[in-house]
């Protein structure tokens, strides 16, 4: 069934058991993003240590795609330096906007490649990007400080 290409095991696992879903106090930046078309919400706390992403924690409500994608993102980006983290966000975004053509580089994106199938469903791309865009926004705000 075509649904399986969208709802990969790894996505449903992250949805049921999300990682880092508890806001750590005193962040360098906090952002709140919503998907205006469906009401999904993510609040994200970012901690930096020098130029390293030391902690990404979050709270949110929404569909399995938005929540699992945010979970995968926090796991992937934590511990990366700022430049590498941003490059990964770009790579994920490119994959999501490829309309099914880019299956993603598993060495880079790890569990993130599970979302390649989402790019064939235009209405869901925003869901998959919600947490990642929140991270990008938080990073920009933290770096401005």
Partner 1 sequence: MSSLDIAAIKADFPILKRTIRGNNRLVYLDSGATSQKPVSVLDAERDFYLNHNAAVHRGAHQLAEEATELYEGAREKVARFIGADSNEVIFTKSATESINAIAYSLGNSTVGSRFHLKAGDRIVLSEMEHHANLIPWQELARRTGAELVWFKVTDEGRLDLSNMDDLINSKTKVVALTHQSNVLGTINPLEKITKRAHEVGALFVLDACQSIPHYKVDVKSLNVDFVAFSGHKMLGPTGVGILWGEKELLDAMPPFLTGGSMIETVTMESATYLDAPKRFEAGVPNMAQAVGLGAAIDYLNKIGLDRIHAHEVELTKKALEGLQTINGLSVIGPKELEMRGGVVSFAVDGIHPHDLGQALDQFGIAVRTGHHCAWPLMKRFKTVATTRASFYLYNDLDDIAALVDGVERARKYFAER
For partner 1, the binding residues (CB under 8 A) are 1-3, 6-7, 9, 12, 37-41, 61-65, 121, 124, 127
Q: Nearer to partner 1 by C-beta: 26 or 37?
A: 37
- Considering the complex, what minimum distance in angstroms separates the CB of residue 71 from partner 1? 14
How far from the centroid of its chain's Cα atoms is residue 90's Cα? 11
User: Least distance (Å) from partner 1 to the CB of residue 48?
Assistant: 30
Nearer of residues 7 and 75 to partner 1, judged by Cβ: 7
Task: Work out how close the CB of 103 gets to partner 1 at its nearest, in angstroms, rounded to a whole number.
Answer: 20
Return the structure tokens found at 111: 């569990």
Q: Closest Cα to residue 68, out of 115, 126, 124, 121?
A: 115
Between 52 and 121, name the residue whose CB sits nearer to partner 1.
Answer: 121
Burial 117-126, CB ≥16 within 10 A → b, else e: bbbebeebbb
Backbone angles phi, psi at 101, to 5 degrees: -85, -30
Bridge partners (DSSP) of residue 53 are: 48
Nearest distance in Å: CB 13, partner 1: 9
């Amino acid at each position: 069934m075509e649904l399986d290409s969208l709802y990969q095991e790894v996505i449903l696992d992250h949805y049921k058991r999300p990682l880092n879903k508890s806001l750590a106090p005193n962040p360098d930046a906090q952002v709140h993003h919503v998907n205006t078309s469906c009401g999904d919400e993510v609040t994200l706390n970012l901690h930096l240590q020098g130029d390293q992403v030391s902690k990404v924690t979050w709270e949110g409500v929404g569909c399995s795609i938005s929540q699992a994608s945010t979970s995968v993102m926090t796991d992937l980006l934590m511990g990366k330096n700022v430049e590498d983290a941003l490059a990964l966000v770009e790579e994920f975004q490119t994959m999501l906007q490829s309309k099914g053509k880019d299956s993603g580089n598993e060495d880079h994106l790890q569990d993130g490649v599970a979302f390649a199938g989402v790019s064939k469903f235009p209405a869901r791309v925003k869901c998959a990007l919600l947490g990642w865009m929140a991270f990008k926004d938080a990073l920009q705000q933290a770096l401005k400080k």
